[in-house]
Amino acid sequence: MSQITEQQILDTLKSVRDPENDNDIVSLNMVSGLVIKDGNVGFAIEVAPERGPKLEPLRKAAEDAVHALPGVLSVTAVLTAHSSGGQNAGNQNAAPPPPPARGAPQAAGQRPPAQGGAGQQRQMVPGVGAIVAVASGKGGVGKSTTATNLSLALSRIGLKVGLLDADIYGPSLPRMMGISGKPTSPDGKILKPMENFGIKCMSMGFLVAEDTPMIWRGPMVQSALQQMLRDVEWGELDVLIVDMPPGTGDAQLTMAQQVPLAGAVIVSTPQDIALLDARKGLNMFRKVDVPVLGIIENMSVFICPNCGHESHIFSHGGAKKEAETLGMNFLGEMPLNIDIRITSDEGRPIVVSEPDGEHAKRYIDIAKSIWDRLSTGTTAPRQSPTIVMQ
């Protein structure tokens, strides 16, 4: 099968016209972040935010036009918000700015653009650069372990990081971050976050005893999350990682809608069933116009601590394949390793307990890739600013 080229795609997209500007979307510099991988094509169409809701037919027409090209297996086009429509087009290969040195003040231009996705309506959290959800389609895939280690890895690359445990049904942050005690509130209104390893943390687990069963109704869940976002003295943060509750039900959807997310990371195990769930996770964020920054495959391979033999307990590479099929970014894989489990359970996650080890390096690579995407506004698929609608 012949390889599809960027030029062929752009030529084809010239047949798609912007009804309001009487020209085609390529000539209007609206196409950005074009990525081609093994016949899977992804690109963004930049539009002014207020036009987003009306332009689904345009997005669909662009997708269909490219899909008709021989050699194209899948196409993902996303509408992205740009206040002056198309201003970034042509800039998609710009190198991401290097992460700031630890403790260095952040130049305004290096800030991720990002809180909010399409949610200009969602209230921002002052001082917080980008809020990133770590989510999974189902429970037990290692979402909290990943959220915790990613926070630490983002901190290792010099960023100011907060970690919010939104998994209010089964908060695990206090244990994983090795924090006990309760947050204080000197003025009786705003809570001071707890802190360990340089990460500011908040979790319902700090406020109620670990063995208290939590029975929450929808509105209570939402107000608890809102309070943990807005009534906590987060201060200046580059990134706030939110460990979402597992699943893709109504509660998760509402949360994803309410939090001004800059993007989401999906954690998945390689099992097919989990991948189906991961797909639900992707769709959930798409529904609420939050860019998916990529998928992390957790527990990808078991490496025997005695002989080093690699056992692919679940089918290996499934998440990567799935990501490619969906035109999504694959952020990396973490092996199933006893040290990752023990260190998390002991409250000294692997990124701090074995800072120079292979696992820490992997988390740091993933953190860098996430930060690159946030700071360049290149989110989904592979490259693009904030998604307005799908």
Ligand X SMILES: Nc1ncnc2c1ncn2[C@@H]1O[C@H](COP(=O)(O)OP(=O)(O)OP(=O)(O)O)[C@@H](O)[C@H]1O
Closest separation in Å from C-beta 298 to ligand X: 5
In the bound state with ligand X, the residue whose beta carbon lies nearer, of 10 and 253, is 253
Report the SS3 class of residue 50: helix
141 is in an annotated binding site: yes
Contact (Cβ atoms closer than 8 angstroms) between residue 352 and residue 154: no
Residue closer to ligand X, measured from CB, 170 or 235: 170
Minimum CB–partner distance for residue 246 and ligand X (Å): 4
Q: Which of residues 234-253 bind ligand X (CB under 6 A)?
A: 246
CA separation, residue 94 to residues 31, 85, 88, 97, 228 (Å): 15, 18, 10, 9, 36
Could you tell me how many residues of this chain bind ligand X (CB under 6 A)? 21
Applying CB under 6 A, among 130, 262, 336, 352 the residue interacting with ligand X is 336
According to the binding rule CB under 6 A, does residue 362 interact with ligand X?
A: no
Binding pattern to ligand X, positions 171-190, x when CB under 6 A?
Answer: -x------------------
> Is residue 170 at the binding interface for ligand X, with CB under 6 A as the rule?
yes
φ, ψ for residue 304 (rounded to 5)?
A: -60, 125
Question: Which x/- pattern over 9-38 shows residues binding ligand X (rule: CB under 6 A)?
Answer: ------------------------------
**Parallel/antiparallel/unpaired status of strands 292-303 and 199-203:** unpaired
Q: Is 265 annotated as a binding residue?
A: no
Q: Which is nearer to ligand X, 163 or 334 (CB)?
A: 334
CA distance 383 to 372: 10
The pair of structure tokens assigned to 91 is: 């800039």
Q: Considering the rule CB under 6 A, would residue 281 count as an interface residue with ligand X?
A: no
Map the footprint of ligand X across residues 139-158, applying CB under 6 A. 139-145
341 forms part of the interface with ligand X (CB under 6 A): yes
CA dist., res. 149 & res. 352, Å (int):
8
Q: Is 109 annotated as a binding residue?
A: no
> Rule CB under 6 A: is residue 379 a binding residue for ligand X?
no
> CA 14, CA 243: separation in Å to the nearest integer?
42
CB-nearer residue toward ligand X: 138 or 156? 138
Q: Where does this chain touch ligand X (CB under 6 A) — which range of 61-69, 93-101, 135-143, 227-235?
A: 135-143
Was 116 annotated as part of a binding site?
no
Which residue stretch of 119-127, 138-146, 194-202, 285-293 sits at the interface with ligand X (rule: CB under 6 A)?
138-146
Q: How far is the CB of 366 from ligand X (least distance, A)?
A: 12
Q: Residue length, the chain?
A: 390
In the complex, minimum distance from the CB of residue 135 to ligand X, in angstroms, rounded to a whole number: 10
Considering only 345, 346, 355, 358, the residue that binds ligand X (CB under 6 A) is 345
Stretch that binds ligand X, among 81-89, 106-114, 134-142, 231-239 (CB under 6 A): 134-142
Q: Confirm or deny that 290 is annotated as ligand binding.
A: no
Instruction: Give the span between the Cα atoms of 122 and 271, in whole angstroms.
Output: 35
Distance CA 1, CA 70 (A): 8
- As measured in angstroms, the least distance from the Cβ of 149 to ligand X is 9
DSSP 331-387: EEEEEE-HHHHHHHHTT--HHHHSTTSHHHHHHHHHHHHHHHHHHHT--TTSS-S-E
CA distance linking residue 146 with residue 179, whole number of Å: 17
Number of separate helices (H) and strands (E) present in the chain: 12, 15
* Residue among 278, 283, 277 at smallest CA distance from 296: 278
User: Site map for ligand X, 205-234, x if CB under 6 A?
Assistant: ------------------------------
Minimum Å gap between C-beta 6 and ligand X is: 37
In which element (H, E) is residue 266 found? strand 263-268
Q: Which is nearer to ligand X, 32 or 337 (CB)?
A: 337
Q: What's the gap between Cα 387 and its chain centre?
A: 13
Question: Annotation-wise, does 140 bind a ligand?
Answer: yes
Give CA separation, 282 vs 5, 187, 259, 265, 381, in Å. 27, 40, 16, 9, 12
At closest approach, how far in Å is the CB of 17 from ligand X? Answer: 46
Binding site residues, ligand X, CB under 6 A:
136, 139-145, 167, 170, 172, 246, 298-299, 334, 336-337, 340-341, 344-345
